[in-house]
Structure 1
């Protein structure tokens, strides 16, 4: 969804406008293509997805990812005065909050059950 928002916000921008807002380097390297990277220009990599193999540790990793996304959406909301964009970002932020809460509930369930022997 974020990629779609970025696309919609930049699709009609001129090269001069892209340069003026600091996207000149991106345009020079990627034209108008979406190239997933962080604010420092570090490309996204699958190594960002961490898994330990322990359900509780993995859920805490998921909670951290949801909270980081929530914070990012809030920063983006604070950076724009475009009401439609804010509404979309608020929806995404709220979704991250719900995911985080569900993962926290799952952690508590696993903690309660971790010492029980399960028979099938």
Structure 2
């Protein structure tokens, strides 16, 4: 069960309408390396993770990714809430505008809709943790790309915060991987799948 706080994890205060920038940042909503995929990935993987501490970490980070999703959506909303049809057309945001007006809908920057195939939950501790490490690096790279392209400091500020959290999550998943490998070694699993023989794994 979750407790919701009616505030963003990091404040977003954007004063200028810019659908062109929103079209870029929307990738971190519904793109292949975005926050929606991240939250679903970790909150799904936690159930079969054999190490309770690592399952708890997946719950914590998956929950935080929902908060990051909220930040990204706040950025997109503030960039588009006062958008006129002409603004959308000039910015190349008109196709999105036709389908959604200024409503938020998960897609990549290239317009590809969110798809659950963009994340994986294999039920194998090592496989899933490597997936998580890669996911955090890909998200960090996407935020790096956004920071290279976007000039507005009001946008860059929360993006820098989100990027920093990807780095922290990568470090935590690295620690989780080592902890899991140590436990697998202790039971002579040698990085096999303990989920199918839990009585041996303990």
Do they superpose with TM above 0.5?
A: yes
Residue 109 of structure 1 corresponds to 179
Report whether the alignment pairs 1:68 with 2:138: yes
SS of structure 2 residue aligned to 1:114:
helix
2:126 alignment partner, one of 50, 56, 64: 56
Residue 7 of structure 1 corresponds to 77
State the Cα RMSD in Å: 1.5
Highest RCO, 1 vs 2 (Cα 8 Å, sep ≥ 6): 2
Aligned length: 120
Over residues 54-111 of structure 1, what are the superposed CA-to-partner deviations in whole Å (9 max), with x where a residue is unaligned?
1111011111111111111111112111112111000000000000111011111111
Where in structure 2 are there 5+ consecutive unaligned residues?
Answer: 1-70, 188-199
CA gap of 1:108–1:73, structure 2 versus 1, over 3 A, is same
Structure 2 contact 137–166 (Cα < 8 Å) conserved:
yes
Bigger Cα displacement from structure 2, 72-81 vs 94-103: 72-81
TM-score by length of 1: 0.92
Structure 2 contact 184–201 (Cα < 8 Å) conserved:
no
TM-score by length of 2: 0.56
